[in-house]
């Protein structure tokens, strides 16, 4: 009898003597009626779930795709059979409603990364832990009636979700006894959670064979908290979660060129089939391409540590899938007369974190200059305030504008290369809003290529400083 390797389990013998040497299952087409199926998972100890979009932050509620992967693993490890696996795979392509309590995070500790069967203490990844008010999370899926029994078997065999430390018990709710969902898919929602797409099982199997996870492939859709009603957009910008890659060369002067190089590389992979929200033609609600410079604090030096993509808040799931698959294939991007090498980040470098650029704040300082859309003369502050409004944010109550930057590592506005040589004015700025604004804050005519990128700052700035452009603005305290 052949020995086969399953998704995440041990080497075990197959449950049938005629089993093939690889674990492949064909899903039958279900033409019969569907039904609501609800099950719960109860966490028995620490809840350690890192958000893949922001690894320093805990993910809550646990993403449906994470739970789906746990069900696949349980099916394989307990040898439940091909029929059960086919039933579990009917969850692909569906976004469930979720019931989850509120949760508060612990301060994340760090864990050494295991590489080549050894622990590498030079590569530390965060291990964020969260404390939910209730340890039970319920998922409400619409499934074929014939798949209910198979999925129920897999649920009862669950041992953990996410890391091995996050032990769980799974149970199925009898009809009519499941709690009401309080998280539902909604394009207007602000919480983005990954869902299992068709073909997710093949990705999990391939990842196991390679010994590493595909971290960018899964699309995330927006969820809304039912108890809060429709979420407002006040205080929130037009962007979703930053997706970042490491880059091996470049400085802040060439930020727009690096951003354009990433776009060129992605579109060369996607070809004519690229989604309009990716290529941006005849579509106003499209992605922005960024270079991520090391600026601010005591050690800002202007080096570009990464490149990234900011999807719009209302990003089509198919565009999300295309983008993440393409980014997985990018190894180099055209830059000046050669290429810059890019790779997936192995450490949570602050510059590559979404929270670095998105933490809510009243005060923000430009890392790259704002490209204004017309000649402004001495009225640059007013033009920047208008540009911020046109970019989808509230109008700031104070604006300080200058060609000289306030963040360490940023450069004079005239030194930053632009994709277009149109002679439009550029200005650095510090802005203050009446209420905290959630970023990223990206402003001006070249914002889709990373110019006009701001960082949140903490220090209160006096009216005299705004009015006079005090040199004390040279080192504002950053929000970390």
**pLDDT-derived band of residue 17, with 50, 70 and 90 as boundaries?**
very low
β-sheet bridge partners, residue 339: 334
Q: How does DSSP classify residue 265?
A: H
DSSP state of 176: T
pLDDT (0 to 100) of residue 469: 47
Q: Which two tokens stand for residue 232?
A: 């407002």
Burial of 231 (0-12, 13-18, 19+ CB in 10 A): middle
β-strands 136-144, 34-43 pairing: antiparallel
pLDDT tens track for 210-236: 776 665 556 788 898 886 544 444 456
Res 122 pLDDT > 50 = no
Q: Which residues pair with 318 in a beta bridge?
A: none
Q: Please give the model's pTM, rounded to 2 decimal places.
A: 0.63
Residues of the chain with pLDDT > 90, as a percent, come to 44
pLDDT at 116: 45
* CA 68 – CA 195 distance, rounded (Å): 8
Please give the mean pLDDT across all residues of the chain.
81
> What are the residues whose beta carbons fall under 8 Å from the beta carbon of 18, sequence distance 6 or more?
none
Radius of gyration of the chain (CA): 24
- What 3-state DSSP class applies to 205? helix
Pick the CATH number of 243-348 from 1.10.1060, 3.30.70, 3.90.660, 3.40.50: 3.30.70
Let me know if domain 26-228 sits in CATH 3.30.70: yes
**Which are the contacts of 396, defined by CB distance < 8 A and separation ≥ 6?**
385, 388, 431, 432, 433
CATH topology agreement for domains 26-228 and 243-348 = yes
Instruction: State pLDDT tens for residues 286-304.
Output: 999 999 999 988 888 999 9
**Residue ranges covered by each domain of the chain:** 26-228, 243-348, 354-474
Q: What is the pLDDT of residue 80?
A: 93
Question: pLDDT category, 458, cuts 50, 70, 90?
Answer: confident
Q: How much is the pLDDT for 464?
A: 56
160-171 pLDDT, tens digit each: 998 777 889 999
**Residue, of 375 and 390, whose pLDDT is higher:** 390
């Amino acid at each position: 009898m052949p020995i086969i390797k399953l998704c995440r389990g041990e080497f075990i013998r197959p449950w049938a003597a005629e089993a093939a040497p690889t674990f492949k299952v064909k899903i039958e087409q279900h033409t019969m009626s569907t039904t609501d199926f609800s099950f719960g998972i109860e966490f028995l100890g620490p809840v350690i779930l890192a958000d893949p979009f922001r690894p320093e932050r805990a993910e809550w509620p646990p993403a449906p795709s994470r739970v789906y992967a746990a069900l696949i693993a349980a099916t394989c490890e307990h040898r439940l059979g091909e029929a059960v696996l086919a039933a579990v795979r009917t969850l692909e392509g569906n976004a469930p409603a979720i019931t989850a309590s509120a949760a508060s995070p612990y301060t994340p500790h760090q864990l050494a990364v295991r590489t080549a069967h050894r622990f590498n203490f030079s590569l530390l990844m965060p291990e964020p832990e969260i404390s939910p008010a209730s340890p039970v999370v319920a998922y409400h899926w619409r499934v074929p009636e014939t798949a209910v029994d198979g999925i129920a078997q897999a649920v009862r065999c669950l041992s953990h979700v996410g890391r091995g430390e996050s032990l769980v018990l799974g149970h199925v709710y009898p009809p009519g006894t499941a709690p009401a969902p309080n998280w539902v898919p909604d394009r207007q929602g602000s919480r983005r959670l990954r869902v299992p797409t068709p073909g997710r099982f093949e990705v999990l199997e391939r990842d196991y064979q390679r010994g590493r996870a595909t971290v960018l492939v899964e699309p995330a859709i927006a969820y809304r908290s039912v108890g809060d009603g429709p979420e407002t957009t006040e205080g929130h910008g037009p962007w979703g979660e930053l997706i970042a890659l490491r880059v091996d060369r470049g400085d802040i002067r060439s930020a727009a060129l690096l951003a354009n190089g990433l776009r060129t590389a992605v579109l060369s992979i996607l070809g004519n089939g690229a989604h309009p929200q990716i290529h941006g033609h005849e579509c106003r609600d499209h992605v922005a391409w960024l270079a991520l410079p090391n600026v601010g604090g005591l050690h800002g030096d202007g080096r570009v540590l990464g490149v990234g993509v900011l999807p719009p808040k209302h990003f089509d799931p198919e565009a999300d899938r295309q983008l993440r698959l393409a980014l997985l294939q990018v190894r180099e991007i055209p830059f000046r007369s050669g290429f810059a090498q890019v790779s997936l980040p192995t450490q949570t470098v602050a510059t590559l974190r979404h929270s670095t650029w998105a933490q809510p704040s009243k005060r923000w300082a430009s890392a790259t200059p704002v490209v204004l859309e017309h000649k402004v003369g001495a009225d640059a502050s007013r033009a920047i305030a208008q540009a911020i409004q046109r970019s989808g944010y509230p109008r700031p109550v104070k604006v300080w504008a200058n060609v000289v930057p306030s963040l360490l590592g940023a450069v004079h506005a005239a030194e930053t290369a632009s994709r277009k040589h149109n002679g439009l004015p550029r200005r650095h700025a510090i802005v203050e809003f009446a209420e905290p604004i959630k970023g990223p804050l990206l402003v001006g005519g070249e914002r889709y290529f990373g110019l006009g990128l701001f960082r949140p700052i903490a220090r209160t700035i006096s009216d005299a400083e705004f009015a006079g452009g005090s040199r004390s603005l040279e080192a504002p305290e950053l929000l970390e």
